[in-house]
Structure 1
């Protein structure tokens, strides 16, 4: 078993895929609701995205996970179905607009290894929830691991400054343990870094460095 508080790896710009397709569907009725359970980003919604955070639900259903968004308590960008759900093996759920800051990490959390310890992580990250109860009797399926990796590859191709893939537990170790010690982090990392799609040409992958990214005025709701 691994220690989820150490789950983290960086993405090499030289290996960034030029394109990575993603099979996704919007969760029924959630698109408008997600606008009320998220914030306008204070960084540019494309070049300002710096990290992907991996979560696990600690519950056994996609419906239970999506309910927190309908309740307005939290949000995340994608939801990976469990193996006993009909969507498993077919597509992942989109649950929040990528251009919005979903509420998936506490506002006060940070880590020195992730963008030099910068706070307000929601404003420069994307969140993935994997449906899993985090107990020995509920293994993460091969497809869940592969689908989560493909979401990261999709985001890596789309967001030129994406550099970090990190667990929720590493960012909030005192309160969170997800995706849990049973999540096969090494296998997941290999799936992300296995360049199955053509890499972005060097001149393109080096464009739009983060030094050029300036936060927008902080007019939006703080999360």
Structure 2
């Protein structure tokens, strides 16, 4: 992947009509979630419509697909009313990245986990966390490894091409009273460390230190038990949340690989 004439190759989708004037010397990279299940192409097509009245420079799908609709030297309409370090209208000095993710989820009366649009979401893809700008916990969709690897790759490329960018922030940093994206499930610390070269995007593994560790279908005791990891089992970490639960992939007692949630305190 390369940036040629301010466009990703491959990755350039088609131009969005929703943009401003020239963007010279951007200093900020802003992370968003889409509140969507449409994939990178679906979101890019939406931004390519005048009716959207919004855009970001690029969209990163859950499957790692990357689409760009606004050249990096043109202002996209992604930040809205915003302020960072006393400077308003962040669209004037930032590049915006949309990550395809439902964001905030809800558990409905029928016991299902659903998106804001009512779409049923796999409970194994939800984690209960409290947003730093809020006081109560909520369910949020996790960000998968395939998506994160693609996001790290394209971010490194952008930073190399536009060295004037000195900070990476969330939409909830520049508009904290009205926006919550990319949300508490986005591993900002790990992401910025990987982008900065402090580590790599290789698989993270941990060892089970409990004699028997229940593997559950979601991050909580109320979720069904999918099996048991025995002491000494090595599991691949799919999502290491800041809360008491981690999502892992491994072989359970009796054979068979599962992706499940386990209590973080029993992993070394």
Q: Same fold (TM over 0.5)?
A: yes
Structure 1 residues 1-223: aligned runs within 5 Å: 24-27=10-13, 30-31=14-15, 34=16, 36-41=17-22, 44=24, 48-62=25-39, 63-66=41-44, 67-70=46-49, 71-82=51-62, 88-89=63-64, 91-106=65-80, 108-112=81-85, 117-134=86-103, 135=105, 137=126, 138-194=141-197
In the alignment of these two chains, the number of paired residues is 156
Return the offset for 1:195: 6.4
TM-score (norm 2): 0.53
RMSD over aligned CA atoms reads 2.2
Check the 8 A contact 1:105/1:121 in 2, yes or no. Answer: yes
Relative distance call for 1:160 and 1:189 in structure 2 (3 A) is closer
Deviation readout 1:52-74 (Å, 9 max, x if unpaired) = 10001111113552314412410
Separation in 2 of the partners of 1:72 and 1:174? 22
C-alpha distance 64-51 of structure 1, shift in aligned 2 (>3 A): same
Residue 68 and residue 159 in structure 1: after superposition, are their counterparts in 2 closer, same or farther (change >3 A)?
closer
Pair 1:160–1:186, CA change in 2 (3 A):
closer
Question: How many angstroms apart in 1 are the aligned matches of 2:58 and 2:83?
Answer: 21
Contact persistence 2:18–2:47 (CA under 8 A)? no
Which position in structure 2 is the counterpart of 1:220? none
Query: Which sections of structure 2, spanning at least 5 residues, go unmatched?
Result: 1-7, 106-124, 127-140, 200-268
Q: Does the Cα contact within 8 Å between 1:52 and 1:125 map onto a contact in 2?
A: yes
Considering fraction of residues, name the structure with more strand: 2
Q: Report the TM-score when normalising by structure 1.
A: 0.63
Measured after TM superposition, the shift of residue 23 of structure 1 is 6.4
Quick one: higher RCO (CA 8 Å, sep 6+), 1 or 2?
1
Shift of 1:152: 1.8
Counterpart of 1:217 in structure 2 is none
Q: CA deviation at 1:184?
A: 1.4
SS at match of 2:157: helix
Mapped partners of 1:64, 1:143: distance in 2: 18
Give me the whole-angstrom Cα distance separating, in 1, the residues matched to 2:38 and 2:59: 10
Rg comparison, structure with higher value: 2
Query: Residue deviations 1:104-137, cap 9 Å, x none?
Result: 011x41122xxxx212211211000000112453
| Aligned-partner Cα distance in 2 for 1:146–1:186 | 14
